[in-house]
Amino acid sequence: MISLIKSFERLKEGLNKTKKQLIESLNYIFANKENLDEKDLERVEEILLLSDVGIAATEMIINRIRDRLKKSGQVNSLDLIEILKSELISILEQVNLKQSGVDFNNINLLDNIRPKVITIIGVNGTGKTTSTGKLAYNFKQKKYSVLIAAADTFRAAADEQLNVWAKRADVEIFSSNNSKDPGAVVFEALSYAEKNLIDVVLIDTAGRLHTKIDLMNELTKVNRVINKKIGRDSDEILLVVDATMGQNILSQIENFLKFIPITGIILTKLDGTAKGGVIFQIVNTYKLPIRFVGVGEGLEDLQPFQPTNFVSALIEK
């Protein structure tokens, strides 16, 4: 199992493009001066917005810098990093410290509610199926029994791709050759999980455009099937979004929320973008916790999200 130090190093490496965009630009301001002045605040604001940190978060940070300037008369590079770190962690912790859904580090099975059910949703191409496989691996490493339910019945290659990931993660997979109805597959998978005392069921749904009403209605049907079968909604409904999509992520979240009660976000492909700051907009705008972040292609590169570690990896010099 990956060590905490190695995990943090992978996170830093995955955030390198965003960090370069943010920190190198901020350092440039201090190239020929020790302290910021009021005129520099516009440049800081521009840098934060270009990193997709968002208007609301940027305003909070700029106001903190301005207050520091008024009180002490100076803000050096270390002061700026301190303010950035404090504000960005605060934004993420306002949501991520709330206890709800599944504790991914320690699933509570003492309540005898087994299986814990996690539904994975998202637009095509975001890394939804890949994330399902990596999530299965995470649980397996913590000694939980895991079943992947292959509820993507629309793509011929979906089962094949998911089978590859299930094999890599060394977990069971449930699919049906008799039905193309995703709701029926989910019902059968949950029945199997209950009979065999499976700890965690991961439901991989079909990727769908958030603008296609008929497909979104199909997703709500799957959710109703889950509720009927286990007497409650999914313990978690995780929306997978691609960090390289930038601002488009926000419209995806907004549209999915119209149809299904998302409980958290998996943000993938952070290693491929310079705009990982969008994570702050997601939390600020929709008050949804970030559950996992993807920082590479390996099985261990889907990491449980920790606000302090994330911000440290992002702005640490």
pLDDT, residue 31, reads: 84
Alpha-carbon distance of 291 to 103, in angstroms, equals 10
Q: What is the pTM of this model?
A: 0.90
Going by C-beta distance under 8 Å and a sequence separation of 6 or more, which residues neighbour residue 141?
1
Between the two ends of the chain, the Cα-to-Cα distance in Å is 28
pLDDT of residue 137: 94
- Predicted local distance difference test score (pLDDT) of residue 51: 87
Mean pLDDT across 214-229:
89
What is the per-residue pLDDT for 158?
Answer: 67
| pLDDT value of residue 106 | 58
> Can you give the pLDDT at residue 157?
63
Q: Could you give the C-alpha distances from 223 to 69, 236, 241, 259, in angstroms and in order?
A: 52, 11, 20, 10
Distance from C-alpha of 215 to C-alpha of 132, rounded to nearest angstrom: 20
What are φ and ψ of residue 247, in 5° steps?
Answer: -60, -25
| Composition of the chain by helix, strand, coil, percent to 5 | 55, 15, 35
User: What span, in angstroms and rounded, lies between the C-alpha atoms of 204 and 197?
Assistant: 20
pLDDT band at 21 (very low <50, low <70, confident <90, very high): confident
Residues pairing with 304 in the sheet: 292
Residue 14 pLDDT > 80, yes or no? yes
- Give the tens place of pLDDT for each residue, 254-279: 999 999 999 999 999 988 888 889 99
For the segment 171-192, the average pLDDT, to the nearest whole number, is 88
pLDDT at 84 over 60: yes
Compute the distance between CA of residue 187 and CA of residue 64 in angstroms, rounded to an integer.
52
Mean pLDDT of the chain: 87
Domains of the chain: 4-96 (1.20.120.140), 116-262 (3.40.50.300)
Cβ burial of 13 (10 Å; 0-12, 13-18, 19+) is middle
Q: How many CB atoms lie within 10 A of CB 38?
A: 10
Q: Report which listed range, 30-39, 103-112, 176-185, 247-256, is most confident.
A: 247-256
| Residue among 316, 292, 13 nearest 133 (CA) | 292
pLDDT bucket at 103, cuts 50 / 70 / 90: low
**How much is the average pLDDT of 282-298?**
91
Tell me which of 105-114, 175-184, 268-277 is least confident: 105-114
Q: How much of the chain exceeds pLDDT 90, in percent?
A: 50
DSSP 124: T
